[in-house]
A and B are shown apart, each in its own frame.
Chain A
Amino acid sequence: DVQMTQSPSILSASVGDRVTITCRASQNINIWLAWYRQKPGEAPELLIFRASSLENGVPTRFSGSGSGTQFTLTITSLQPEDSATYYCQQYNNKWTFGQGTKVEI
């Protein structure tokens, strides 16, 4: 099974900050990685797919990069509504989520 490890687990930042979340896969998953944001009490929403493709309607302050085993999600100019938990998910070999990164503002 492919294991996904995110860091940090918790991140504290201020409005307007640039933040980066890292996701590491236990084996090569090429570019088959997605990122989601889950606000408290809400369903997850897709932000990025294929490692770096922005989902329609998602603000351009979100971007993704990486391939193989190392990936990053970057949020430029953090907004109050970005207070949420972020998950990476691989889909190269079945489906596995990372444990999540909670972003506190």
Chain B
Amino acid sequence: EVQVVESGGGLVQSGGSLRLSCVASGFTFNTHAMSWVRHIPGKGLEWLSAISRSGNTTYHSDSVKGRFTISRDNSRNTVFLQLNNVRAGDTARYYCAKSPLGVLGFFDHWGQGAQVTVSS
């Protein structure tokens, strides 16, 4: 069974940093691209970052470019999202999402999410 499990969320002060982790199982991790998407109640879903199977190519949305960094460790079946210089607007539930084999486009499995709350 495919599973992705996020961790590392919590309360962080404005301007601070946090690293989210996502451990995957039930599929061959290094053959799938992975992404991070966040949900803000009342505002909907926002794609943040994506990373290729090998980790050589990364993409970030304009809203987080320069502040958030996606990376992966295929030896540990884990993808990370480093959040730096966080703002109140980054308060959200952060989801790790898997793309199907050979596709970096849509997301066929999602974790349950990690809550990040930014305090001032």
Structural contact, A43 and B46, CB atoms closer than 8 A: no
**A6 and chain B: residue at smallest CB distance:** B44
B44 x A45 contact (CB < 8 A): no
A-B contact count (CB 8 A): 58
Q: Kindly state whether residue A81 has any CB partner on chain B within 8 Å.
A: no
Q: Nearest Cβ distance between residue B91 and chain A, in whole angstroms?
A: 17
Please, how many angstroms separate the alpha-carbon atoms of A42 and B112 in the complex? 7
> What separation, in Å, do the CA atoms of A89 and B110 have in the docked complex?
15
Do A89 and B106 form a contact, CB below 8 Å, given A43-B95, A97-B47? yes
User: Size class of A's contact patch?
Assistant: 20 to 34
Task: List, in ascending order, chain A residues with CB within 8 A of B100's CB.
Answer: 49
Closest chain B residue to A56, Cβ basis? B108
Contact with A along B57-74 (1 / 0, CB 8 A): 001011000000000000
Q: B-facing mask of A79-104, CB < 8 A → 1, else 0?
A: 00000010101010011111110000
Q: Is B8 an interface residue (CB 8 A)?
A: no
- The reply to whether A100 and B61 contact each other, CB–CB distance below 8 Å, is no
Q: Do A55 and B108 have beta carbons less than 8 Å apart?
A: yes
Provide the bound-state CA to CA distance between A99 and B105, in Å. Answer: 18
Q: Per-residue 0/1 for A29-58: is the Cβ within 8 Å of any B Cβ (1 yes, 0 no)? A: 000101010100011111001000001000
Shortest beta-carbon distance from A73 to chain B in Å = 14
User: Which of B44, B62, B95, B104 lies in contact with A1, CB distance below 8 A?
Assistant: B62
Known: A1-B62, A94-B61. A45 touches B105 (CB 8 A): no
**A43-B47 contact given A34-B106, A89-B106, A91-B106, CB 8 Å threshold:** no
Kindly identify which residue among A45, A94, A95, A99 contacts B110, using a CB–CB cutoff of 8 Å: A45
Using a CB–CB distance below 8 Å, which chain B residues touch chain A?
A: 35, 37, 39, 43-47, 50, 59, 61-62, 95, 100, 104-113
Q: Can you report 9 A-B residue pairs in the complex whose CB atoms are below 8 A from each other? A: A32-B105, A34-B107, A36-B45, A43-B110, A44-B37, A46-B109, A55-B108, A91-B106, A97-B47
